[in-house]
């Protein structure tokens, strides 16, 4: 009998795929099951039948996988954030490694022949690691109670989150205080009415301080009417939580998917936080130093010499969400850099990678399109005693064109180009220019699909993918960070 939607079938989950679903088979056809752990034997309802695959939903677990664990978050089923919190951690890491190896197998493309897969970088910290939090705000229909949290999966319904185990506890306390003490209204998307739209927090793991932004559904002109009330609230908040080093008000009356508007007002403290990252891949630890290795500050933890770098991060600047795993990722990429190198750090943000590499670099060129990040990067080079650097503000592809002309004139190339683009990856034209500027590309990616696409483009431009290493920037989610090293043949 032909299979139909809503039929109930028995399945065994085989392995995880990149989306976080588990792959199973029914009469030879691939079935993707949400929330299943490889090894689970389940009864499932057929949701959709496509030409090449079926989507199904678990109705009953007949026999749980030995790798299935109890999620540590009580909102696991409602929130949808940490979608793999029901999978035992080491097993999950081996699954992520398998996903990478399959995506970059020679079966997928000729561009992936003879790649060295390095062991997956595990996260040392599995809870309270998330240093950037963006909570949506709403209010209940009748009692007008404020709700703060994340949207339920595939919806804009705010799940009220009082406790989130992956963010520092202090953030739960602060959002709790806002829920209890905010006397004005919360935003209701359906009617596009109500005041408080989002709560944004950037937390410094090094200092325990944070920058708080309240996003309002009003423009700046309206601010005068509520200024005293907002300032009184900010005063109470900052008085109760000395960990808050700055409070910003952002004005975003537009009904768009963009969380923040263009205008921001500082109403308390400073408009940035300071984060610190430690590098163990440093001269004190045996790595060959650059001529001048005074960048950052020397430190010793845990028992191993290291160098600590300091970063100023403003509200609109990107910084890695998980600083502890970021340190490991940056050390892994630093190992590919030769001492006294000329380095181009494209998509450079506030200079997180540039400065991390500075004790091995002769000169660093940073390219970044966000003005806020570029201003922070300039401050950060100074903060870390880096002298030989240049910073370009603008679209990477356009700046690469300028750099190509400059380098051609001087007859020079970069010893290494670091690419760390956003999820959508780089750009064909940008990669074509890069391929003429260096013999080594170190690509850091938060999206293996766009990384694979870009590696194929670079392969056609004469580069060979030498090694690939996964890293766990977002434990218990399907996300995979990767470090790829490519060399010109
Ligand atoms: C994934 S972040 C990496 C930042 C930095 N490497 C770090 O680790 O903190 C990507 C950065 O690329 C910047 N960016 C995005 N598109 C860009 C473009 N077309 N040209 C230049 N920079 C861009 C973003 O503003 C962001 O700072």
Mean predicted confidence (pLDDT) in 54-77: 96
CB of 443 shorter than 6 A to ligand 1: no
Residue nearest atom 11 in ligand 1 by C-alpha distance: 347
Q: What is the pLDDT of residue 287?
A: 78
The confidence score (pLDDT) of residue 155 equals: 84
How far does the centroid of ligand 1 lie from the alpha carbon of residue 356, in Å?
16
Q: What is the mean pLDDT of residues 87-102?
A: 98
- pLDDT band per the 50, 70, 90 thresholds, residue 286: confident
DSSP annotation string for 188-227: BTTTTB-SEEEEEEEE-TTT--EEEEEEESS-GGGHHHHH
For range 58-64, the mean pLDDT: 98
**Helical spans, DSSP H, in 301-427:** 323-334, 352-357, 371-383, 396-410
Q: Which atom of ligand 1 is nearest to the CA of 370?
A: 25
Check pLDDT > 80 for residue 232.
Answer: yes
As a whole-number percent, the residues of the chain with pLDDT over 90 amount to 91
The percent of residues in the chain predicted with pLDDT above 70, rounded, is: 100
CB 460 within 8 A of CB 112: no
Given a contact cutoff of 8 angstroms between Cβ atoms, the answer to whether 138 and 149 are in contact is: no
Mean pLDDT for the chain overall: 95
- CA 38/CA 370 separation, integer angstroms: 42
pLDDT surpasses 80 at 300: no
**pLDDT tens per residue across span 322-349:** 999 999 999 999 999 999 999 999 999 9
Instruction: Report whether pLDDT(415) > 80.
Output: yes
Render pLDDT for 131-180 as a digit per residue (tens, 0 to 9): 999 999 999 999 999 999 998 877 888 999 999 999 999 999 999 999 99
Distance (Å, rounded) from C-alpha 477 to C-alpha 488?
A: 34
408 in Cβ contact with 382 (< 8 Å): no
Which domains, from first to last, does the chain contain?
Answer: 8-79 (2.40.50.140), 132-270 (2.40.50.1070), 279-488 (3.40.50.150)
| Count of beta carbons in the 10 Å neighbourhood of residue 406 | 12
Cα–ligand 1 centroid distance for 370 (angstroms): 8
Is pTM beyond 0.85 here?
yes
Banded model confidence at residue 484, pLDDT cuts 50, 70, 90: very high
pLDDT in tens, 370-411: 999 999 999 999 999 999 999 999 999 999 999 999 999 999
**CA end-to-end span of the chain:** 55
pLDDT interval class at 78 (50, 70, 90) = confident
Catalytic residue among 73, 82, 282, 446: 446
Annotation says 299 is catalytic: no
Distance 102 CA to ligand 1 centre (A): 27
Peptide bond into 302 cis (omega under 30): yes
């Amino acid at each position: 009998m032909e299979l139909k939607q809503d039929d109930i079938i028995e399945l065994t989950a085989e392995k995880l795929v990149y989306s976080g679903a588990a792959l199973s088979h029914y009469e030879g056809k691939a079935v993707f099951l949400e929330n299943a752990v490889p090894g689970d034997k389940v009864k499932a309802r057929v949701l959709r039948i496509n030409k090449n695959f079926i989507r199904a939903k678990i109705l009953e677990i007949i026999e749980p996988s030995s790798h299935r664990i109890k999620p540590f978050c009580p909102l696991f089923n409602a929130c949808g954030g940490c979608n793999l919190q029901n999978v035992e951690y080491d097993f999950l890491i081996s699954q992520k490694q398998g996903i990478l190896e399959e995506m970059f197998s020679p079966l997928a493309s000729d561009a992936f022949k003879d790649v060295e897969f390095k062991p997956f970088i595990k996260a040392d910290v599995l809870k309270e690691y998330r240093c950037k939090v963006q909570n949506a705000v709403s209010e209940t229909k009748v009692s007008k109670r404020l709700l703060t949290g994340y949207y339920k999966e595939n919806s804009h319904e705010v799940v009220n989150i009082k406790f989130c185990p992956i963010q520092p506890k202090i953030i739960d306390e602060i959002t709790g205080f806002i829920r209890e003490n905010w006397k004005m209204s919360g935003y209701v998307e359906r009617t596009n009415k109500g005041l408080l739209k989002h709560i944004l927090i950037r937390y410094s793991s090094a200092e325990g301080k944070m920058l708080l932004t309240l996003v309002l559904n009003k423009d700046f002109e309206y601010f005068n009417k509520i200024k005293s009330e907002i300032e009184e609230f900010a005063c109470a908040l900052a008085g109760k939580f000395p960990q808050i080093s700055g409070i910003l008000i952002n004005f975003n009356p537009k009904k768009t998917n963009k969380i923040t508007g263009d205008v921001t007002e500082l109403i308390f403290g400073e408009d940035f936080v300071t984060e610190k990252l430690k590098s163990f891949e440093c001269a004190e630890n045996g790595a060959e130093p650059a001529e001048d290795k005074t960048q950052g500050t020397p430190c010793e933890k845990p028992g191993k010499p290291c160098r600590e770098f300091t970063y100023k991060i403003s509200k609109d600047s990107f910084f890695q969400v998980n600083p502890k795993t970021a340190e490991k990722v940056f050390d892994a990429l630093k190992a590919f850099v030769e001492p006294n190198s000329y380095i181009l750090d494209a998509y450079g943000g506030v200079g997180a990678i540039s400065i991390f590499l500075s004790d091995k670099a002769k000169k660093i060129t940073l390219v970044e399109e966000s003005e806020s990040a570029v201003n922070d990067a300039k401050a950060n080079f100074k903060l870390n005693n880096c002298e030989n650097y240049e910073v370009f503000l603008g679209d990477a592809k356009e700046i690469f064109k300028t750099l190509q002309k400059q380098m051609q004139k001087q007859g020079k190339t970069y010893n290494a180009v670091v690419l760390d683009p956003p999820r959508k990856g780089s750009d064909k034209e940008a990669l074509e220019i890069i391929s003429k500027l260096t013999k080594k590309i170190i690509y850091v990616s938060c999206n293996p699909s766009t990384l694979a696409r870009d590696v194929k483009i670079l392969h056609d431009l004469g580069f060979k993918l030498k090694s690939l290493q996964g890293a766990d920037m977002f434990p218990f989610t399907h996300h995979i960070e990767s470090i790829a090293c490519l060399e010109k043949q």
